[in-house]
Amino acid sequence: MPKFSVIVPVLNEEKYLPKALDSLIHQTSEDFEVVIVDGGSTDGSLALAREAVEKYVGFYLIEETFPNRYAAMNRGLRAAEGDYVIFLSARDYMTDETVEELIKHLDGLEKTPDVLVFRNYLFGEGHISHFSEYDDLLAPVPEFPKYENLVLRILHIEAKAFRRAFLENRRIEFGENDAFEDMRFAFRCFRDAKLASGCPYAVYETLLPPAADAAAGRRAPTLSNLRDFIGLWNDIYAAAYDKVLGDGEGVPDGSESYLQEVLYRSVCELLERFYIKYWFLDEETYRLFHDEYNDRMNRLVKEKHEKLQQMFGWLGAPYIFAEYKDASFLCSMALKFEKKEDYAPFIDSLYAQRFPFFEAFVDAADADAVPEKYDGMANLHAIESDNFFAAARQTAQAQIFLVVRDPKPLDENVLKNLRGSKAPVFLRQTAFARIRKALSLRGTLRDKGMDLAAE
């Protein structure tokens, strides 16, 4: 029986699958199996999977139709024979020594962990490549405390291994009903594990979706996704409540530190996943967000309110707009580029900004260059005038008005940093140019394995 089973769910991943499989083929240990679960691919994915299975020992293929990737991973779990299972997205990779390092780590432990956490390297188009901060904080820790708050920051299945017997005994598998079942799965594992351990020398590489697609799929701030997300955190809070009470940690009235941390993390996630995508929210979705956010804020102690101010003060937290229509703007931006094809990537980068409260103007003559997905955005305006910049300046609501002629897409933190700039208003155009240049340089250096201290 192999030490590890790597489960790879696949559905039309022809572009990415070869590199994912290559990362498994080149592992420096052979004590693992690969279970590829194809959910009915219509591209070349299935042929690639079949080729790997025919060529390499320990590679297996399941061909079935599944309603979603969670059902596919459950099927892979039932087929797995390894002591531990790793879920590898067909778009992601593992470094060559990962399995070997995990085995060496297990051999050096006196106890048998139910969950292993390793380093998680994040990269992708429009993102600065980096190691996940919170995975990195836990990866060097041989044994986590029972209620480790950091666990609430790594509720994902990437860069983790789960003991198969533990999953079977606890009857833990993926639900198949909403968009965040992997987070629910990870929480159940950490909640029920007798021991969770970090392995600092194993590395998982996660391909992030393009920054321009930050509001697509389950990342889209839709009413359905918001409802699923609220349900997830309500369930996490209820489970934590029962766990704290069952372990005799005190009466869980909402004031205990761990339960407070659950509430705090849910508020942070609501801000990160939904509030920063403000202009993608419709009024009904914003109303639900507003009510749920405030309900959690009313249950948070003063210390957590102050922490939110420190963490998200640049976004306005702990306060949010009472009504969707109330949004004010950090700055108004008039965009004028020589080539029409430059508008789409730049506007994509605007709507991927972590600070979303801006308005943008384009000349009506260039309006057809704006991507269709931004039609109807309340903060994007087309102006028909012989003097575009003067008309835009006259219409602008913000005190800060920027003329943008450089079409290079913005780093996602440009407006966030501009928000915190102490430059006087009349120098904000210069500050904007310096900030975007510095962040662009920093991103380039980090992608090359170097870093530049933040200003």
For CA atoms 278, 282, 285, 287, give the dihedral sign.
positive
Give the number of other CB atoms < 10 A from CB of residue 122. 19
Q: What does pTM read for this prediction?
A: 0.87
Say yes or no: 305 and 341 in one domain: no
Say yes or no: 382 and 321 in one domain: no
178, 194, 211 — which closes off a domain? 211
Confidence of residue 252 (pLDDT cuts 50, 70, 90): very low
Strand intervals (E) in 181-263: 196-207
Residue 247 lies in a domain: yes
239: closest CA among 262, 264, 270? 262
Share of the chain above pLDDT 70, in %: 94
163, 180, 211 — which closes off a domain? 211
Q: Is the pLDDT of residue 455 over 50?
A: no
Q: Higher model confidence: residue 204 or residue 323?
A: 204
Q: What is the pLDDT of residue 452?
A: 45
Residue 23 lies in a domain: yes
Helix (H, G, I), strand (E, B) or coil at 316: coil
Residue 154 lies in a domain: yes
Residue 286 lies in a domain: yes
Say yes or no: 250 and 202 in one domain: no
Q: Is the pLDDT of residue 454 over 80?
A: no
Summarize the confidence of residues 275-280 as an average pLDDT.
94
* Pair of tokens at residue 446: 């980090």
Rg (CA), the chain: 24
325, 342, 362 — which closes off a domain? 325
Contacting residues for 298 by C-beta, under 8 A, at least 6 apart: none
CATH number at residue 441: 3.90.550.10
Residue 55 lies in a domain: yes
Say yes or no: 175 and 226 in one domain: no
Say yes or no: 196 and 222 in one domain: no
Burial class (CB in 10 A: 0-12, 13-18, 19+), 67: exposed
Contacting residues for 85 by C-beta, under 8 A, at least 6 apart: 4, 5, 6, 7, 76, 77, 161, 162, 164, 167
Q: What is the pLDDT of residue 128?
A: 78
Q: Is the pLDDT of residue 450 over 60?
A: no
Phi and psi of 63, rounded to 5°? -115, 105
Confidence of residue 5 (pLDDT cuts 50, 70, 90): very high
Q: What is the pLDDT of residue 453?
A: 45
Q: Higher model confidence: residue 210 or residue 105?
A: 105
pLDDT tens-digit series, residues 10-57: 999 999 999 999 999 999 999 999 999 999 999 999 999 999 999 999
Say yes or no: 189 and 248 in one domain: no
Across the chain, mean pLDDT equals 91
Summarize the confidence of residues 86-105 as an average pLDDT.
97
Say yes or no: 156 and 8 in one domain: yes
Say yes or no: 424 and 369 in one domain: yes
Residue 454 lies in a domain: no
Distance in angstroms between the alpha carbons of the first and the last residue of the chain:
52
Say yes or no: 161 and 60 in one domain: yes
Structural domain total, the chain = 3
Summarize the confidence of residues 352-357 as an average pLDDT.
93
pLDDT tens-digit series, residues 138-157: 999 999 876 778 899 999 99
Say yes or no: 96 and 66 in one domain: yes
Burial class (CB in 10 A: 0-12, 13-18, 19+), 376: exposed
Say yes or no: 192 and 45 in one domain: yes
Confidence of residue 209 (pLDDT cuts 50, 70, 90): confident
Q: What is the pLDDT of residue 149?
A: 85
Burial class (CB in 10 A: 0-12, 13-18, 19+), 17: buried
Q: Cα separation of 20 and 23, whole Å?
A: 5
Residue 249 lies in a domain: yes
Residue 430 lies in a domain: yes
Say yes or no: 363 and 296 in one domain: no
- Domain range for 293 is 217-325
437: closest CA among 422, 417, 424, 208? 417
According to DSSP, residue 410 is labeled P
